[in-house]
Amino acid sequence: MTTDGFTILSPAGYHMNVGVSAPTVNGLGTYGPVVVTEPLPGGKFQAAGRGQNILAPGCLMGASGAIQVRYLTGAAGTGRVVCALGTADGSAFIAVSVDTLNRPFATITDNAGTTVAESQGLGLTIPAGEQVTFTVTWDSSELVPGAGGYYAAAKHDGDVFDSGAWSTVPSAIWNSFVPATMFMGYRPGATEFNGTVLKVQAGNLPGI
């Protein structure tokens, strides 16, 4: 299940999410961790923890948008899915994953499940227990603002991936799918995440 908790909106425009890891019937419990994030522009969805979140019809359209995830890494060594926006069976998806060195990367498929964009993990091995923020944004029919002439872009802790960071370059339009669910910490047919999903935001507005 996704994590219980609540969100505090600060006057400066930040979200402070407070998780409840052991709630009780009288409102007491163990609280934490506290995760502070900037709201995703055009955001329609946010959640934390692990599980499957069924989307309300029309919440996320799939043709364009963005996903931002903040998470704590687990042990390196195996490629794993952190979160994925997908069809109900997960056959078509937009996912954030980690490679065998714990480095994040994005994968985007079309409505047939064919990969149309995939970034590569960059840099050295990321150790367990590190907090990472990763954003992927896309538009299946128009160039993404700030993406350098591509239909998708990715950003790791504020650093935008350049053209050499894509193993499958998002240089052409594709047939998008209508997402039905947000998978948190897993995706059908993929290896589960061994870290902690602190916050996922998603919306329909592309741009990096």
Q: What is the pLDDT of residues 87-137, one digit of tens each?
A: 999 999 999 999 999 999 999 999 999 999 999 998 899 999 999 999 999
Burial of 123 (0-12, 13-18, 19+ CB in 10 A): exposed
pLDDT at 140: 98
pLDDT at 48: 87
- According to the model, what pLDDT value does residue 146 have? 85
* Cis amide linkage into residue 33, ω under 30° from 0: yes
Residue with tokens 């979200």: 15
Domains of the chain (ranges; CATH) run 40-203 (2.60.120.200)
CA 33 – CA 144 distance, rounded (Å): 34
Q: If we measure between CA atoms, which residue out of 164, 130, 155 comes closest to residue 66?
A: 155
Query: Can you tell me which residue has the tokens 């069809």?
Result: 87
Residues (pLDDT < 70) of the chain are 1-37, 39
Beta strands in the chain (DSSP E): 4-9, 15-20, 31-37, 43-47, 51-54, 64-72, 80-86, 93-98, 104-109, 115-119, 131-139, 152-156, 159-160, 166-168, 181-184, 196-203
Residue 180 CB coordination number (10 Å): 19
d(CA 38, CA 71): 15
Per-residue DSSP letter, 207: -
Are 197 and 68 contacting, i.e. CB atoms less than 8 angstroms apart?
A: no
Q: In what order do the strands lie in the sheet with 115-119?
A: 51-54, 181-184, 80-86, 93-98, 104-109, 115-119, 166-168
> How much is the pLDDT for 207?
84
Tell me, what's the pLDDT at 202?
A: 96
Tokens of 159: 């650093």
Partnered with residue 86 across adjacent β-strands are 93, 181
Write down the pLDDT at residue 2: 43
Alpha-carbon gap, residue 10 to 153, rounded angstroms: 29
Judged by DSSP in three states, 192 sits in coil
